[in-house]
Amino acid sequence: MTDFPWLTVLGAVPLFGAVAVMLTSKERPELAKRAALVASLVTAGLAIAMATQFKTGAVGYQFVEKHQWIPEFGVNYALGVDGIALVLIALATILVPIVILASWHDADPLAPGGAHAVRAAGDPPPRRPVRTFFALILILETMMIGVFAATDIFLFYVFFEAMLIPMYFLIGSFGGPRRSYAAVKFLLYSLFGGLLMLAAVIGLYAVARNQLGSENATFDLPTLAAAIKDGTLVIDPVVEKLLFAGFFIAFAIKAPLVPFHTWLPDAAAEATPGSAVLLVGVLDKVGTFGMLRYCLLLFPAASQFFTPLVIVLAVVGILYGALLAIGQTDIKRLIAYTSISHFGFIALGVFALTTQAQSGSTLYMVNHGFSTAALFLIAGFLIARGGSRLISDYGGVQSVAPILAGTFLVAGLSALSLPGLSSFVSEFLVLVGTFPKYQVAAVLATLGVILAAIYVLWLYQRAMNGPVAGRARGISDLNRREVWAVVPLLAVIVALGVYPKPVLDVINPAVTRTLEHVEVTDPAPTVNTSASTEGTQP
């Protein structure tokens, strides 16, 4: 099965599923939903089957596919995955069927307060048919698989920009009352970053063409990374810094990293809960993935030069996002700001440039995807019942909907990195890996853990504890479909918290290879042996 085009098939299945969904009748929305769910489950099954064929510990990319696309410019349809890309593709393909199941009624043209209401009071009805909503999710899944699997820089850029289109329509056509504003803001920020990246991509190609010759000029990432490592391709230091900045700013906007974050709270708050899960849980990971994959491999010297600045931005993001989360009155905006804080941890781990920190950072991308998905979906279930996103409109939910409150508590405890749940392992690795090189940054980042406990527990105390009040009166508990959507997320959160070794075994070889390329090593332990040996002298 090594010659089987796993990645192409994996990306094609949801795309064909989207076509099938769009071919269903407008008058049969249930058929469109079932078709979308089946396509996403098939994709998830293929991803799991592909993962079983992955050779843990092997060097380089696996499941490689390469075909000429635009030979005049050295552009290829080139795909391949290492351990980092594999776990992120697995994250995307697992989350999509869960999102479809949880979003079963999110595009229904029903007024708030109806039998299947999913929108807060004042939210406008969807602008497009139900089938369009689910087709856009499947198209987005294809783009997400492509962006993590691409090993040609130009192809990566195409997927990077193409992701914007389905997400723009998911927010702008099916979101809340300020959906048009949020969708346009998301699009403008992302397009600005994409244009900077395009300029950097062209600049990199021009440098490679000038030094390697027109016949050898290429956008192939492994080829360019190898040429940079062995000195065949030498980039002027000033040019390298400029090219790094073009890539990094695009990734920092996508992640988002402070101060490029301001689009996220609006987009996440106005999107449907399922769309917010894909936006924050997967799409934003493309930013931190890009930092790890492209910034470090293509511009190793510039990456080390800018590391202190990125470390500062990451720590500021950790504290800033957490402090703003504490002051939020809107449930979905609160979750969005917690994600800004978490992305600070991820960026900190990437640029700490140690094995533990980068492994923890990659694992954090996966764990954050699952924990944030649970938070957004369960919050969405609550909002659907109460018709409001305001925390103050709820109280005592655990008395009338104990399953909803209990699942939200587990997801919240994962977000604050409680030991035994998935986020703890990744956050611990990031902090432990950062401390030997950046002690002050690690100590300040630890304050983010304390602030996380405040915003999560305070949210739970206000909305779930106490006497039943406000819109919590008379709300129903989770139904069977909603339980089926949430339980897999909680199971993964617990499983990765108790036993993260299988995922780390996949991630670690890719992280080690990245650090070797950048030519950095883990700090040697400093132990004062003189005192211990003096006591043993005869």
Q: Total structural domains in the chain?
A: 1
Classify residue 528 by burial, with Cβ atoms within 10 Å: 0-12, 13-18, 19+: exposed
pLDDT at 217: 81
- Name the band, by pLDDT with cuts 50, 70 and 90, for residue 123: low
Mean pLDDT of the chain: 90
Is the pLDDT at 522 greater than 90? The verdict is no
Whether 538 is covered by a domain: the verdict is no
pLDDT at 370: 95
Cα distances (Å, whole numbers) of residue 133 to 99, 124, 146, 474: 12, 15, 20, 30
Whether 323 is covered by a domain: the verdict is yes
Is the pLDDT at 362 greater than 50? The verdict is yes
- Are 217 and 205 a contacting pair, CB within 8 Å? yes
Is the pLDDT at 456 greater than 90? The verdict is yes
- When pLDDT is averaged across residues 458-484 and rounded to a whole number, the result is 91
- When pLDDT is averaged across residues 243-255 and rounded to a whole number, the result is 94
pLDDT at 112: 41
Whether 1 is covered by a domain: the verdict is no
Instruction: Encode pLDDT of 299-339 as tens digits.
Output: 999 999 999 999 999 999 999 999 999 999 999 999 999 99
- Name the band, by pLDDT with cuts 50, 70 and 90, for residue 503: very high
Record the tokens describing residue 333, joined without a space. Answer: 């905006």
Beta bridge partners of 77: 67
- Residue 116 CB neighbours (<10 A): 10
- Name the band, by pLDDT with cuts 50, 70 and 90, for residue 212: confident
Whether 534 is covered by a domain: the verdict is no
- Are 438 and 352 a contacting pair, CB within 8 Å? yes
Characterize the bridge pairing of strands 62-70 and 75-81: antiparallel
DSSP conformation letters of 457-525: HHHHHHHTSSS-EETTTT-----HHHHHHHHHHHHHHHHHHH--HHHHHHHHHHHHHHHHHHT--PPPP
Residue 323 CA to residue 338 CA, distance in Å, equals: 9
DSSP conformation letters of 134-181: HHHHHHHHHHHHHHHHB-BHHHHHHHHHHTHHHHHHHHHHHS-TTHHH
Q: Considering only 392-396, 476-480, 517-521, which range has the smallest mean pLDDT?
A: 517-521
Record the tokens describing residue 422, joined without a space. Answer: 């998935």
Tokens 């000429």 locate to 68
Whether 385 is covered by a domain: the verdict is yes
Percent of the chain surpassing pLDDT 70: 94
- When pLDDT is averaged across residues 74-80 and rounded to a whole number, the result is 93
Whether 529 is covered by a domain: the verdict is no
DSSP conformation letters of 379-409: HHHHHHHHS--BGGGEE-HHHH-HHHHHHHH
Enclosing domain of residue 226: 6-522
Whether 537 is covered by a domain: the verdict is no
- When pLDDT is averaged across residues 267-291 and rounded to a whole number, the result is 93
- Residue 480 CB neighbours (<10 A): 7
- Are 356 and 429 a contacting pair, CB within 8 Å? yes
- When pLDDT is averaged across residues 16-34 and rounded to a whole number, the result is 93
Report the SS3 class of residue 69.
strand
- When pLDDT is averaged across residues 101-118 and rounded to a whole number, the result is 66
Whether 532 is covered by a domain: the verdict is no
